[in-house]
Amino acid sequence: MANNPPPFAILLVILLFLYLTPDPPSPGESHRQQHAVAHERGALEALNNSTYGDLHLGKEEDARPLNLTGFRPEHGFRWELLESAQDKARDQARYALGETADGLIEGGSDQYPLLYHNVTGFVEGEWRRTGAYDGPHVNLSAITPHGTYTSEDWKRNVTATSGDVRIHFREKENGEAWNTSVRRISARATIGEETSFGTWWEMILYGIHFVDFGEIILTTTSEKFDGIFGLPHLALSNHTFSLGRDLLNKTLNETIEKQKEGILEDSAPWSSTMEGEDLFSVPHCEYVFYLQQHPVPLNLPGGAAPGNSLVLHHLEEELRFPHRPFLPKTPDMTMSMVAFSPDCGFTIESKGPPDLAPQEGKHLKGPKTEAYAFVARRHVLLFTVIIAAQLLLLLRQMKEASTPSTRSRISFYTIAILALGDGFALLGFALFGMQIESTTMLLLATAYVAFLSVIFFGMGFLKEIWTVQSTERSREERQQAANSPQAPNSPETTQPETLPLPVTARQAINSGATPIIIPSDQDIDAEIAENQDGDANANNQGSPRRGFGSVYLRFYLLLFGLVFLSLHATTWPASVQSVYSSTLTFAYMSFLVPQIYRNVMRNCRKALRWDFVIGQSILRLLPFAYLYAYKGNILLIEPDLNFLAVLCGWVWLQVCALLSQEHLGPRFFVRDTWVPPAYDYHPVLRADEEGASLPSGAKVLAGEEAGMTTTTKAGESRDKSKKIFDCAICMQDLEVPVIASAADADGAGASGLSGGLLARRAYMVTPCRHIFHSVCLEGWMRYRLQCPICREVLPPL
């Protein structure tokens, strides 16, 4: 029953389906669509009718101004910036391409440099602000008279003087010839500002890529700026203008036709806002980007000879459709950038030579998507190895904790956090893998198998622990219920872990009157629970199982909730994001804390194998070490060694706490009053009054009088501070340090306690006053929580 998918999973699928199914267009929607199409048609016609130079406003009186939103003089955009930006872009082209740059831009040269023709991938680097305008604002009410905006605050306004930028390019195939010289391109740019708050802006840009000489012009488009329709006017020459206009004349018309026919439902197909961002209509600064690709540093004979672009073409083909298992050497793409905002009036440039020394920046660099995916695939494979190692450790731990008594020591929450972490990592990873198109199915499949196995085994183990511990919980509840009415007269206050007398047939057995054969390796708790289940009480049967159903539910709700929250968190401001991710990471890396807590509460010294604790700590830290210490990590996270050090320190502290709990006692660092009293298996033994109150000796000595043993007497006479007992499990002698009498116990106890702490670990005294070697009794108690001599129930260790 519990293994079936819980009903909410089906609900989730239905909800997702409903969410993803597009709504039928409402009448208002189709009206808006028609309006948008009419506007776009007008804009395209204006582009068709225009000639190069129309944008250079106000120079000649007879110039026909462009009839496009944002380009008309009365809209007050700062087109004065255009000229300096274009000059800068030309300089960058000359620096990158050398002598032939001008000829290439004007279309008079066929010395094509060695450039990637398909720049799908990303580049990143640093920018600096080089120009700012502090005149009056753009008159918004003149551009959009209908009050489109609800806010006066402009987004994407760059105020810092430097920061970093990352641009993801995407070039789709539209059936053009491979040697086409101009192509559409779209990009997602992220501009981060170096402010204390860590602001960053994200936008989508559309533009054209002049493949032959590596120039890319991108622009944002919005209701106050017809960027894509005016784009050819931003080109550097009449030649590139005509190339761009011809391309856009064709492709924009295609999109508009699709929109008109209802194939494309987006009323703003070139919108610069990210999906889900336009909840509030706020004005954004518009951007125009010029990017110049630098020649690929491949040492081919002849440099920019016409045939060499063919070589690079074959390299790119091999990258996309590999015939060999190993990737050919693929240098990163390098691009210089200059961008300006025509309405907010600032200019930013990439840092790098020749204006700045190469140490300060090397423009924007980044891999082609195929090279990136290749590296990503390898790293993900390493991650799979880590997952496999984790699984191995988990399996060993599961084998070790095969008895209910050992299982009940393990903290449910520790294992739950680990499983949650695995689920989170792999789910997030699968979503991430879907984003990189070139990620192979193999990759996703590996992730999926790992996901299944971890979730499967992890959940299986959780279920076992839960089942064992739920009987423990119900016992506690019963005990509380039993204790509350008759609390004062309970003699059990000295020994609260003692079982209340069971109401079932076990009662007779526990009285000790009958010899018992313990049929299995289970402890009494579990057997009692089993028996009670077996009693077929209608309200009791299968309750742990049913209980685990709700645990399943909560686990997956939490997992999916976390994943969705984290997905949402990617749109938050950088500082909030980092607080969120640090909190999450810290909560995850605190996975040993519940175990430490459980050890304290149950007075249990050791629950998990050491290889499990150490191995899991290292394996769980490894991905963070990769993300925070390795610069080329696939998530593109900036290295942060301090955070990593804090994280490692925190895990180290937890491991140390567990280590000292094993050797110094689980409660050595908490006060006794904070925790429920627990039975102390390692008491200080006092030999006062002929052992009358000697906890374990009393019985043994009494036994001696009855002629059962004689060892004690001999030991006693030899050394007053030592006594020798018999361990009933291994039949060997057990030498126990004893404090002479109650009178000088205070003095001797104070000095002997610290030294005696470890000595006392060597023996264990049961509540029924039998004494054993610790090793022997612990081994015994792994299987049954019963005194080997008198079959009294023992409190769990």
Ligand X SMILES: *[C@@H]1O[C@H](CO)[C@@H](O)[C@H](O)[C@H]1NC(C)=O
- Residue closer to ligand X, measured from CB, 122 or 780: 122
Q: Is 361 left (phi over 0), alpha (psi -120 to 50) or beta?
A: left
C-alpha triplet 463, 466, 467: angle, nearest 5°: 85
Please tell me the distance from the alpha carbon of residue 115 to that of residue 109, in angstroms, as a whole number: 15
Q: Record the tokens describing residue 530, joined without a space.
A: 């089993």
Per-residue contact track with ligand X, 176 to 215, x per CB under 6 A?
-x-x-x----------------------------------
Please tell me the distance from the alpha carbon of residue 533 to that of residue 525, in angstroms, as a whole number: 12
Which residue's Cβ has the minimum distance to ligand X? 42
CB of 541 to ligand X, least distance (A): 58
CB of 320 to ligand X, least distance (A): 5
Instruction: Tell me the CA distances in angstroms from 721 to 76, 695, 724, 725, one per residue in order.
Output: 98, 15, 10, 13
Single-letter code of the amino acid located at 391: L
Token pair 């009323």: residue: 267
Q: Which of 42, 752, 756, 788 binds ligand X (CB under 6 A)?
A: 42
Please tell me the distance from the alpha carbon of residue 767 to that of residue 443, in angstroms, as a whole number: 57
Determine, following the binding rule CB under 6 A, whether residue 504 of this chain makes contact with ligand X.
Answer: no
CB of 384 to ligand X, least distance (A): 24
CB of 49 to ligand X, least distance (A): 3
Determine, following the binding rule CB under 6 A, whether residue 46 of this chain makes contact with ligand X.
Answer: yes
Per-residue contact track with ligand X, 99 to 118, x per CB under 6 A?
-------------------x
CB of 141 to ligand X, least distance (A): 5
Determine, following the binding rule CB under 6 A, whether residue 590 of this chain makes contact with ligand X.
Answer: no
CB of 251 to ligand X, least distance (A): 10
List the alpha helices (DSSP H) in 484-523.
506-510
Query: Which residues in the 433-492 window bind ligand X by CB under 6 A?
Result: 438
Per-residue contact track with ligand X, 242 to 261, x per CB under 6 A?
x--xx--x---x---x----
- Residue closer to ligand X, measured from CB, 142 or 759: 142
Determine, following the binding rule CB under 6 A, whether residue 45 of this chain makes contact with ligand X.
Answer: yes
Query: Which residues in the 52-71 window bind ligand X by CB under 6 A?
Result: 52-53, 67
Query: Which residues in the 318-337 window bind ligand X by CB under 6 A?
Result: 320
Give the CA count within 13 Å in the CB-facing half-sphere of 674.
9
Q: Mark the segment that binds ligand X (CB under 6 A) among 165-173, 386-394, 541-549, 711-719.
A: 165-173
Q: Is 214 helix (H, G, I), strand (E, B) or coil?
A: coil
Determine, following the binding rule CB under 6 A, whether residue 582 of this chain makes contact with ligand X.
Answer: no
CB of 187 to ligand X, least distance (A): 13
CB of 178 to ligand X, least distance (A): 7
DSSP bridge partners of 206 = 186, 219
Per-residue contact track with ligand X, 404 to 443, x per CB under 6 A?
----------------------------------x-----
- Residue closer to ligand X, measured from CB, 367 or 796: 367
Please tell me the distance from the alpha carbon of residue 600 to that of residue 424, in angstroms, as a whole number: 29
- Residue closer to ligand X, measured from CB, 319 or 604: 319
CB of 275 to ligand X, least distance (A): 20
CB 552 within 8 A of CB 2: yes
Contacts of 603-607 with C-beta under 8 Å, sequence gap 24+, read: 603/666, 603/667, 603/675, 603/678, 603/679, 603/680, 603/797, 604/409, 604/666, 604/796, 604/797, 605/661, 605/662, 605/665, 605/666, 605/797, 606/409, 606/661, 606/662, 607/406, 607/409, 607/410, 607/411
CB of 380 to ligand X, least distance (A): 18
Determine, following the binding rule CB under 6 A, whether residue 159 of this chain makes contact with ligand X.
Answer: yes
- Residue closer to ligand X, measured from CB, 308 or 617: 308
Please tell me the distance from the alpha carbon of residue 689 to that of residue 792, in angstroms, as a whole number: 26
Per-residue contact track with ligand X, 118 to 147, x per CB under 6 A?
x-x-------------x--x-x-xx-----
Please tell me the distance from the alpha carbon of residue 115 to that of residue 368, in angstroms, as a whole number: 12
Q: Is 205 helix (H, G, I), strand (E, B) or coil?
A: strand
- Residue closer to ligand X, measured from CB, 23 or 74: 74
Determine, following the binding rule CB under 6 A, whether residue 48 of this chain makes contact with ligand X.
Answer: yes
- Residue closer to ligand X, measured from CB, 248 or 608: 248
Determine, following the binding rule CB under 6 A, whether residue 148 of this chain makes contact with ligand X.
Answer: no
Q: Residue 219 — φ and ψ, nearest 5°?
A: -150, 155
Q: Is 84 helix (H, G, I), strand (E, B) or coil?
A: helix
Determine, following the binding rule CB under 6 A, whether residue 34 of this chain makes contact with ligand X.
Answer: no
CA torsion, ordered 412, 418, 423, 429, to nearest 10 deg = 170
Per-residue contact track with ligand X, 722 to 741, x per CB under 6 A?
--------------------
Please tell me the distance from the alpha carbon of residue 449 to that of residue 434, in angstroms, as a whole number: 16
Determine, following the binding rule CB under 6 A, whether residue 718 of this chain makes contact with ligand X.
Answer: no
- Residue closer to ligand X, measured from CB, 58 or 561: 58
Residue 742 DSSP code: S
Q: How many residues bind ligand X (CB under 6 A)?
A: 38
Query: In 10 A of CB 775, how many CB atoms?
Result: 14
- Residue closer to ligand X, measured from CB, 117 or 407: 117
Instruction: Tell me the CA distances in angstroms from 650 to 518, 568, 643, 783, one per residue in order.
Output: 44, 28, 11, 34
Residues that bind ligand X in the complex, under the rule CB under 6 A: 42, 44-46, 48-49, 51-53, 67, 118, 120, 134, 137, 139, 141-142, 154, 157, 159, 171-173, 177, 179, 181, 238, 242, 245-246, 249, 253, 257, 320, 344, 369-370, 438
